[in-house]
Chain A
Amino acid sequence: MLKVKDLWFRYPNSNWILKSLNLELYEGETLLVIGRSGCGKTTLIRALTGTGMHIYSGEARGVVEVDGKKLEEYSLEELRKVIQVVNQDPRTHFVYPNIYEDLYTYAIQIYRDEKKATEALELVSNSLKIKNLFNRLYFELSGGELRRTVIAKAILSKPKIIIFDEPLMWLDDIGVEDYLNVIESLRSYGISILIFEHRFMPLVTHVDRALILANGFIREISLDVFRKPFYSMQSEVKSRISSDEKGISINNLWFKYDGDWILRNVSIDIYRDDAVVIYGSNGSGKSTLLKIIAGYLKPVKGIVKRFGKAIYIPQLVSLFFTEESIELELRSICRNSGDFKKCYSKGYSILRSYGFDDLSQTPFNLSWGQQERLAIALALIANYNIFLLDEPFSGLTYLDRAALVDYLKSLPGAKVITISSKDSIPFLNGFKLYNLHNGSIIRDFSSDRVSQRIDLSNLSSVYSE
């Protein structure tokens, strides 16, 4: 169905990102492509669909054949009927905010006939169960609903191939389950599917083959070792003993937004060197709780006491950076300190000790994991000792997650991170787990008794073979 032979690709004024890449996707096959952040997964998608050449003015060499015909022989209109892409951020797919209007006008564009368009939309909306979303605006939908709607849009043209770019990004457990069900439906229709995802564990039992993309090359790998359920990969863990000095104390906290109680009677004590993880589905109030702890939002009722300086690092970590180089970030942070020279020299050595040797590079070009680590290091330099990280694992590979957890554990101060999917829990060895559900928070001791640890050697072997 899709044949790639000796594909090379580079952006203007850059080195080759894809180097002599070969790939075959057969009819009805589901193929998973994994790889570290920045390895070229999105670039490969751009090369396969032509956006790399037409939008980014990139240079491509080699052959891409879609359904037996070369990519360059397709008109854009023809191509849209054979291959479709679901981007990393599904919100970008909407031309009109109203779900029905967006899908209906797109169906008309394809079929150029109201009756055929209505029939196609009826069929797709029934099979993906999105009819109840028709009157809603796209930005009111949950991550799972958004993903389902965008997949509906992609299959409206009845393409033979669908490409997914990091489809599990931002999805909580319910959203992931929802997506996996949709994938099974697409497989039953015989559609060829190409999934690019670094959070691959939930997908391993839903794909036929897996490939790894690294250094511009692609090769087949076996994911058999990951085909057993997550929680069979468990081992013993010793609970981390933390200081008995409080870092954060929250008592009987209530918070209301738009008439609805988001947080109800939340009480929690976090000690000075505690590492805490708050698990909850999307929209459960995790970010709100972090912003209240940081002092940005005021609770309606209750008391929040911080015994230190709190910093909030957002889900989209790039929003944390304001300067064009790491050095300027350091200067900017130190300008707010009492002693610039002392702060700068301390900051310089902290950054170097955390692996940031080249201070002239821009923070915006770092990988997601590096950006998380840089944000934390800068906070450390500015003498923050309460670190609040909102879903830091969203853009990280499993190995990067493990590295970030180790990094966090090495830091002095209280660490609070939020997660929305259980597949991150195995990496959080030594963290105290709390569940946030219906506005209430409860301690989950299961993470102390049995750590659902993942065998990192298996993961490392996948990337290093």
Chain B
Amino acid sequence: MRNLAYIFAYKVNSNISLVTRLYIPLILMIFLIFAINIDYILMAAIQVIAVFILEFIIFMYIGGFKRIASAVILISIFIAMGLAIRFISIMLGYEPTKLEEMAISTSRVIEFFFAITIAMQWIRVSEYRWLFKKLRLEDIAILFTVTLTQLSSILVAYSEALTTIRLKYGGRGLQKIVKPLVIYSISYGRDVAEAIYMYGVPEPKVDISIGKIDILLIVAISSTLIFLGIAPKL
């Protein structure tokens, strides 16, 4: 849970423009949704590996790959569910999904999650606020800003609640965690509202100018993804 908290935290001061930092995770997400064709299993595997390498390089630049990798354990639940469904399908005599197709799909889910993480760690909360404002979503902008900023603190409290309830009820009745969490969140939210009343929500200062490095990055990543995307069709 603590590692999950760090996923939502802006990580690095970078000289790269907001345009590039927004473009790269977005284009990766679009690629993962539309470009990978599971019918060409070898090409799909190459595509998935290439995206993983790209994401890994970005994470190395941002730092903190270790934390993210450990947070992936959280999504291992989806992998376990996939395996369970496959096992049940075999047991019931249905034709199960091919193992290699399942592996590709799971990798896509993980890589999509990585792309979201890159967006979270690479783009400042203030920049998200600026983006929402540009989209004329002013109220959502404030809500999103404060929620994202406070999420890490709240998740740490959630982790403490999880420990407590698991020990109190011996691993059973985990659904009981909801009430203390709701009450904690309301009380914490009220404190945040009081602080906002006294301090306000300052306007962010955002620079969207593009440098040479940005053009280079956008061109390099776009060409790689375009090549990977059209290669199966050639």
Q: Which A residues lie at the B interface, using CB under 8 A?
A: 46, 49-51, 54-55, 76, 80, 84-85, 87-89, 91-98, 101, 104-106, 108-109, 135, 137, 139, 153, 258-259, 291, 294-296, 310-316, 318-324, 332, 336, 364
Min distance, Cβ B100 to any Cβ of chain A, angstroms: 35
User: CA–CA, A144 to B165, complex, Å?
Assistant: 29
- Take A92-B150, A98-B124, A319-B157 as given contacts and tell me if A105 and B202 are in contact as well, using a CB distance cutoff of 8 Å: yes
* B156→A95 contact, CB < 8 A: no
- Residues of A close to B180: CB separation below 8 A: 318-322
- Take A96-B124, A312-B167, A336-B172 as given contacts and tell me if A51 and B9 are in contact as well, using a CB distance cutoff of 8 Å: no
* A319→B184 contact, CB < 8 A: yes
* B170→A336 contact, CB < 8 A: yes
- Take A98-B124, A101-B126 as given contacts and tell me if A314 and B197 are in contact as well, using a CB distance cutoff of 8 Å: no
* B164→A313 contact, CB < 8 A: yes
- Residues of A close to B179: CB separation below 8 A: 321-324
B20 at the interface (CB under 8 A from A): no
Sample of 27 A–B contacts (CB below 8 Å)? A46-B194, A85-B194, A89-B188, A94-B149, A94-B150, A101-B124, A101-B126, A104-B205, A105-B202, A108-B202, A108-B203, A139-B156, A291-B163, A294-B167, A296-B166, A312-B163, A314-B160, A314-B164, A316-B184, A318-B180, A318-B183, A319-B160, A319-B161, A320-B164, A322-B176, A332-B173, A336-B170
User: CA–CA, A26 to B92, complex, Å?
Assistant: 81
Min distance, Cβ A405 to any Cβ of chain B, angstroms: 22
- Residues of A close to B66: CB separation below 8 A: 258-259
B139 at the interface (CB under 8 A from A): no
* A97→B125 contact, CB < 8 A: yes
Most chain A CB within a 10 A radius of its CB, from B156, B160, B166, B176: B160
User: CA–CA, A319 to B13, complex, Å?
Assistant: 36
Chain B interface extent, by class: 35 or more
- Take A91-B150, A96-B145 as given contacts and tell me if A80 and B200 are in contact as well, using a CB distance cutoff of 8 Å: yes
Write out, one digit per residue, whether chain B residues 191-217 have a CB within 8 A of any chain A CB (1) or not (0): 111111111111111000000000000
Residue of B nearest to A333 (CB): B168
Q: Which B residues lie at the A interface, using CB under 8 A?
A: 5, 9-10, 13, 66-67, 124-126, 145-146, 148-150, 152-153, 156-157, 160-161, 163-170, 172-173, 176-177, 179-181, 183-184, 188, 190-205
Min distance, Cβ B141 to any Cβ of chain A, angstroms: 11
Contact of B153 among A139, A312, A332 (CB under 8 A): A139
- Residues of A close to B176: CB separation below 8 A: 322-323, 332
Q: Which 8 A-B pairs have the closest CB atoms?
A: A105-B202, A322-B176, A109-B202, A92-B191, A319-B161, A92-B195, A92-B192, A91-B153
- Residues of A close to B124: CB separation below 8 A: 96, 98, 101
Residue of B nearest to A88 (CB): B191
- Take A316-B184, A322-B177 as given contacts and tell me if A54 and B197 are in contact as well, using a CB distance cutoff of 8 Å: yes
* A76→B202 contact, CB < 8 A: no
Min distance, Cβ A282 to any Cβ of chain B, angstroms: 13
Residue of B nearest to A45 (CB): B194
User: CA–CA, A291 to B146, complex, Å?
Assistant: 31
User: CA–CA, A295 to B166, complex, Å?
Assistant: 11
* B202→A80 contact, CB < 8 A: no
* B9→A137 contact, CB < 8 A: yes
* B157→A105 contact, CB < 8 A: no
Most chain A CB within a 10 A radius of its CB, from B10, B148, B195, B198: B198
* B152→A87 contact, CB < 8 A: no
Residue of A nearest to B166 (CB): A296
Residue of A nearest to B13 (CB): A135
User: CA–CA, A296 to B153, complex, Å?
Assistant: 21
* A296→B167 contact, CB < 8 A: yes
* B194→A105 contact, CB < 8 A: no
- Residues of A close to B203: CB separation below 8 A: 105, 108-109
* A93→B125 contact, CB < 8 A: no
- Residues of B close to A313: CB separation below 8 A: 164
* B168→A311 contact, CB < 8 A: yes
Min distance, Cβ B179 to any Cβ of chain A, angstroms: 5
- Residues of B close to A135: CB separation below 8 A: 13
Min distance, Cβ B177 to any Cβ of chain A, angstroms: 7
User: CA–CA, A87 to B195, complex, Å?
Assistant: 7
- Residues of B close to A259: CB separation below 8 A: 66
Min distance, Cβ A109 to any Cβ of chain B, angstroms: 4
Beyond the given pairs A51-B197, A322-B176, 7 more chain A to chain B contacts, judged by CB atoms under 8 angstroms and listed by A's residue number, are: A50-B197, A55-B197, A80-B199, A80-B200, A85-B194, A104-B205, A311-B167
User: CA–CA, A80 to B10, complex, Å?
Assistant: 28
* A85→B198 contact, CB < 8 A: yes
- Residues of A close to B202: CB separation below 8 A: 95, 105-106, 108-109
User: CA–CA, A49 to B198, complex, Å?
Assistant: 8
User: CA–CA, A25 to B81, complex, Å?
Assistant: 63
- Residues of B close to A318: CB separation below 8 A: 180, 183-184
* B194→A96 contact, CB < 8 A: no
Residue of B nearest to A89 (CB): B191
Contact of B199 among A93, A97, A295 (CB under 8 A): A93
- Take A95-B145, A97-B152, A139-B9 as given contacts and tell me if A364 and B183 are in contact as well, using a CB distance cutoff of 8 Å: yes
- Take A84-B198, A312-B167, A332-B176 as given contacts and tell me if A137 and B188 are in contact as well, using a CB distance cutoff of 8 Å: no
Min distance, Cβ B44 to any Cβ of chain A, angstroms: 35
User: CA–CA, A105 to B168, complex, Å?
Assistant: 44
Residue of B nearest to A257 (CB): B2
User: CA–CA, A55 to B157, complex, Å?
Assistant: 24
* A87→B194 contact, CB < 8 A: yes
- Take A55-B190, A318-B183 as given contacts and tell me if A95 and B168 are in contact as well, using a CB distance cutoff of 8 Å: no
Min distance, Cβ B62 to any Cβ of chain A, angstroms: 13
User: CA–CA, A311 to B170, complex, Å?
Assistant: 10
- Residues of B close to A91: CB separation below 8 A: 150, 153
